[in-house]
Amino acid sequence: MTSIIITGGAGFIGSHVVRLFVNKYPEYRIINVDKLTYAGNLANLKDIEDKPNYRFVKADICDFDTIYALMQEEHVTGVIHLAAESHVDRSIKDPFTFARTNVLGTLSMLQAAKLYWESLPEKYEGKRFYHISTDEVYGALELTHPEGVTPPFTTKASSAHHEAYGEEFFLETTKYNPHSPYSASKASSDHFVRAFHDTYGMPTIVTNCSNNYGPYQFPEKLIPLFINNIRHRKPLPVYGKGENVRDWLYVEDHARAIDLIFHKGTIAETYNIGGFNEWKNIDIIKVVINTVDRLLGRQEGEDMDLITYVTDRAGHDLRYAIDSRKLQAELGWEPSLQFEEGIEKTVRWYLDNQAWMDNITSGEYEKYYEDMYAERPSCD
């Protein structure tokens, strides 16, 4: 029986991956391992919590003994490793937590899988360790066309790269050059995954993905934070002039890519996953404002005056841009949604699920927000 541990499955991306695998593969056993830190929320998975092929285990990925025992108990054949600390601002404030979870936690998962799989008669045959990483490990790209650029509203993955902001893109072979404690911790974890393949022959795959957006994202990140702030007419803090450029991908398209790569990707390969969808922060903020205003019955653009420019983040990378053509050419994946569709679905979801948002932004989370955003706004 295929038995898969998905780490971080109560988080934003992880919950979409868990839901996809539980519903699409009823013959699989899906074990969701999550520590349930502030960003983990089992309410994200209420619709599948009673499925017979699903199990939730509250555990810390750094707890090697627990993870190794779970591997043995569930006869695990695959790992999809998403659990990570991921907020750059928090990594600047507390780099130790990021090193522990992202580096030592990944090492714990790798070692537990290695020891269990090597104890079996077939060893690594039919096994797979899939590690999800970020485009931030590559560093930053130049913004060579900073002025007078129209946002790429209709860019599709099947078309040539949109070169509005620059001609250079992150490839799978791009040299690592992390600039924040977060990206440094993810770069280190990537190296450990590849080292376990090269040293022990473990069947590993690494993917590096661009910024995700969509339902169930914890509201410390740009889009859900700003949707909620617009709803309550609170300030929208923007770093610098909002000129930083990011490539955006709808989360369900990322989940589909993970499914495809887990089943058909080549062992020891790296695949970049991106949306072919670059936006300056300030442009995406204006789209979010217009969309929220329209769906709330306000005059479109009415809340533009909520934008508040603040001192830029330390070491803030100017531009990320993923080249996904390898994944497209080898496995046939491309994003299913253009950005206008994705942002419309996303805003509608948050407005239709205000109870979910209110539950998070009240009580114990409220104090967290006060501490986090008093001086550190979220801009990606």
Residue 235: count other Cβ atoms within 10 Å of its Cβ: 13
Q: Which amino acid is at 343?
A: I
Active-site residue among 116, 138, 182, 350?
182
Cα 131 from Cα 213, distance rounded (Å): 20
Active-site residue among 85, 135, 243, 334?
135
Active-site residue among 74, 85, 89, 136?
136
Active site residue 136: yes
Active site residue 135: yes
Q: What are the catalytic residues?
A: 135-136, 182
